[in-house]
Amino acid sequence: MKKRLLTGLQPSGALHLGNYFGALKPFVDLYQDYDSHLMVVDYHALTTIKDPSTLRQNTKDVIRDYLAVGVDPSEAIIFKQSDVPEHTELAWIFECLVTVPFLELAHAYKDKVAKGLEANAGLFNYPMLMAADILLYDTEVVPVGQDQKQHVEYTREAANKFNIAYGDTFSAPKEMILEGVGVIPGTDGTKMSKSYKNTIPLFGTKEEVQKAVMGIVTDSTGERPENVFSIHKLFRPESELVNLYEENKGSYKTLKEALLDDIEKLITPMREKRESITDEEIKSVLKEGAEKARARANAKMVEVRKKIGVTL
């Protein structure tokens, strides 16, 4: 029997190479060893995205991205959160078990308040919806980035609170921190991130990728352009690169072109695959996934509803 794995994807727009090497690739490398559930968390996204067409587009895009990088829909249950109403139902039940001071310590909420911003109640309850996502499927393994570790701890606490109140029902899931290949640097050498405007797009046009690569900040005092080299390391063994960089010492343009070539070799087939995926295909993958996910979620909720006393 394979262990149950579940992860949630934020439908948050265009991906970059940092997302690919930090999250998508490590996921693609491992998901087939598990009974995998891959879910787009559109209701979580509603805490920030208020424009329906953006939400719709981003939801389709995230599925398209995962299919393009190699997730096979026959090897995983791919679905969206809003298609399985049991998620919000179970979240409510957990919200009635945990306290306000406990939720006030959650990072996403705390950070927002620390910035002087007003959080909506959805953001406040965010960790309990995530707990429901995970616990509905008796998930054992939750692959996430380091930033989500606390949310998995909150999930274990929700399970624990429920079990104490109503008897053993949920088992404790474990996070699997996707290490990828460490922190991927951006075009300026700091962590690649949309908010730093230093990204190399994963599925941009050839021109967009070229513009980003040619814009990598180089430092004429160093032996080699470190910012180019450290991104290049993701594509070729360092031993090969050392020679290439030695032969082309000082010729930053040549080295950037070599990097661009290597990036294009990786991206081109994925980009072509991505462009071939129709909206119909996405809808059909999600429909099939929703049916499978609902069957599992529903079975669990029958048990939960009986235990809490809403089934008469």
Site of interaction with ligand TRP (CB under 6 A): 6-8, 10, 41, 44, 130, 133-134, 142, 144, 148, 151
Assess 191 for contact with ligand AMP (CB under 6 A).
Answer: yes
Residue 6 binds what, of ligand AMP, ligand TRP, none (CB under 5 to 8 Å, by partner type)? ligand TRP
**Rounded Cα–Cα distance for residues 172 and 166 (Å):** 15
Residue 41 binds what, of ligand TRP, ligand AMP, none (CB under 5 to 8 Å, by partner type)? ligand TRP
Q: Which of 159, 192, 255, 282 binds ligand AMP (CB under 6 A)?
A: 192
Q: Which stretch binds ligand AMP (CB under 6 A): 70-78, 115-123, 130-138, 190-198?
A: 190-198
Site residues for ligand AMP, 139-168, by CB under 6 A, read 145, 147
Residue nearest to ligand TRP (CB): 8
**Rounded Cα–Cα distance for residues 253 and 249 (Å):** 10
| Strand ranges across the sheet with 174-177 | 76-80, 35-40, 4-9, 141-144, 174-177
Residue 133 binds what, of ligand AMP, ligand TRP, none (CB under 5 to 8 Å, by partner type)? ligand TRP
Size of the site for ligand AMP (CB under 6 A): 14
Rg (CA), the chain: 22
Q: Which of 184, 200, 234, 258 binds ligand AMP (CB under 6 A)?
A: 184
Token pair for residue 221?
């005092």
Considering the complex, state which of residue 192 and residue 267 has its C-beta at the smaller distance from ligand AMP.
Answer: 192
Residue 255 binds what, of ligand TRP, ligand AMP, none (CB under 5 to 8 Å, by partner type)? none
**Torsion sign over Cα 42, 47, 49, 50:** positive
Looking at residue 82, the DSSP 8-state letter turns out to be G
**Rounded Cα–Cα distance for residues 106 and 93 (Å):** 18
**Rounded Cα–Cα distance for residues 85 and 303 (Å):** 16
In the complex, least distance from residue 175 CB atom to ligand TRP, rounded to whole angstroms: 8
Q: For the chain, give the longest Cα–Cα distance.
A: 78
In the complex, least distance from residue 192 CB atom to ligand AMP, rounded to whole angstroms: 4
**Rounded Cα–Cα distance for residues 79 and 146 (Å):** 24
In the complex, least distance from residue 270 CB atom to ligand TRP, rounded to whole angstroms: 22
Residue 260 binds what, of ligand TRP, ligand AMP, none (CB under 5 to 8 Å, by partner type)? none
Looking at the chain, the number of H-run helices and the number of E-run strands are: 14, 5
Site residues for ligand AMP, 7-26, by CB under 6 A, read 12, 18-19, 22-23
161 within 8 A of 98, measured Cβ to Cβ? yes
Looking at residue 236, the DSSP 8-state letter turns out to be S
Residue 36 binds what, of ligand TRP, ligand AMP, none (CB under 5 to 8 Å, by partner type)? none
Assess 127 for contact with ligand AMP (CB under 6 A).
Answer: no
Q: Which of 180, 201, 204, 289 binds ligand AMP (CB under 6 A)?
A: 180
Assess 178 for contact with ligand AMP (CB under 6 A).
Answer: yes
**Rounded Cα–Cα distance for residues 79 and 82 (Å):** 9
Of 230, 234, 240, the residue nearest 262 (C-alpha): 234
Half-sphere exposure of 239 (CA within 13 A, CB side): 0
Q: Which residues bind ligand AMP (CB under 6 A)?
A: 12, 18-19, 22-23, 145, 147, 178, 180, 183-184, 191-193
